[in-house]
Structure 1
Amino acid sequence: MLFQLAFLALGEEIAWRAFFQKQLNKTFSIIQVLLISSLLFAIGHFNQGNPVIVIYDIFFVFINSILYGIIFYKSKNAWVSAISHFAANLFSVIILVFI
């Protein structure tokens, strides 16, 4: 499971930050880039279910995406944002399993 969390985080960060965010940076300001990419990232994580939980989940995915975007923007390194993403995913799983 740890491998899966790490692999998914790295893949998402390569696609969303190292490619998509980098491309958007050529045209838009960093604030616009973070908002656009994070909104699309959050929509991509949409799941059906209880509307309150879905909205809560999308909101926090959006916020996390902004944080990963800032980390990538500052570090210029997808590995750094992927490690942050992995840590957040791992923390979420630990919370869900043990609490």
Structure 2
Amino acid sequence: MTIPNWVKDHRLILGFFLAHLLIFFTFQDKNIFWYIFTATMLFLISYSIMHEEIEDQVPLFTYLSLGSLSGVILFACFLLGSLLIDLVNLPFAKEISRLYNRLSPTVLWHYIVLMLVIIPGEEIFWRGFIQKRIQKAANVTTAVIASSLLYASVHFYSGSFMLPFAALITGVFWGYLYAWKKSLPLVIVSHLIFDLFLFVIYPLN
């Protein structure tokens, strides 16, 4: 069996290992979650920009408009899924409420670091570093699926089966968006709009 070339990328593997290690500690204590998560993303941003350039190949209006539209579309898909869960009375509703109670921002500085550090950091690291480096040695679909699975894997430390699944879905969505337009600002805007609806405008709990 041939080992994919991207698996031999030492910088990618080290970055992924560090992300796992840091996010493991992030989920250990709800009381310090936001402190550790913020520090983790600042570190991963630094690691990413040391090894990869930030891509932005679309003009300002395009990444603002397409980013906003794609964020709304993705949230609409999650909203539809939530409505279907309620409609058929699946036992996932309690899990969604538990996630909101444990991980949702609750004070002003949580929202500030979410918008300014955590969301940009996730896109810079998982799409702008992990996916980009995989794509140097693989096709787009392989890069998107592989990076999305890696992105989902760190969310298992939350103790929830829903969060890794949600991360996989969003990872594939933003991964293809990034591969299509090659613009980190675009996927950051999309992620911002999605989270704005998810946590502020129309929470699903």
Counterpart of 2:176 (choices 55, 58, 70) is 70
Q: 1:52-67 to 2 correspondence within 5 Å?
A: 54-67=160-173
1:82 maps onto 2:188 in alignment: yes
1:36 maps onto 2:142 in alignment: no
1:12 maps onto 2:122 in alignment: yes
How many equivalent pairs are there? 92
Letter in 2 for 1:10: P
SS in 2 for 1:45: helix
Partner Cα distance (2:189, 2:125) in 1 = 15
Partner Cα distance (1:12, 1:62) in 2 = 13
Shift of 1:57: 2.2
1:91 maps onto 2:197 in alignment: yes
Q: TM-score, normalised by structure 2?
A: 0.42
SS in 2 for 1:86: helix
Letter in 2 for 1:85: H
**Deviation >6 Å, runs of 4+:** none
Once the two structures are superposed, residues 16-51 of structure 1 have per-residue CA deviations (whole angstroms, 9 ceiling, x without a partner) of 111111111111111111111001101112211xxx
Is the contact made by 1:17 and 1:72 (CA closer than 8 Å) also made in structure 2?
Answer: yes
**Structure 2 gap segments, 5+ residues each:** 1-109
Counterpart of 1:21 (choices 131, 145, 150) is 131
Shift of 1:93: 1.3
Shift of 1:73: 1.0
SS in 1 for 2:161: helix
Once the two structures are superposed, residues 32-89 of structure 1 have per-residue CA deviations (whole angstroms, 9 ceiling, x without a partner) of 11111001101112211xxxxx222211210101111111111211111111112222
Please identify which structure carries the higher helix content: 1
Q: Identity, % of aligned pairs? A: 29
**Structure 1 gap segments, 5+ residues each:** 49-53
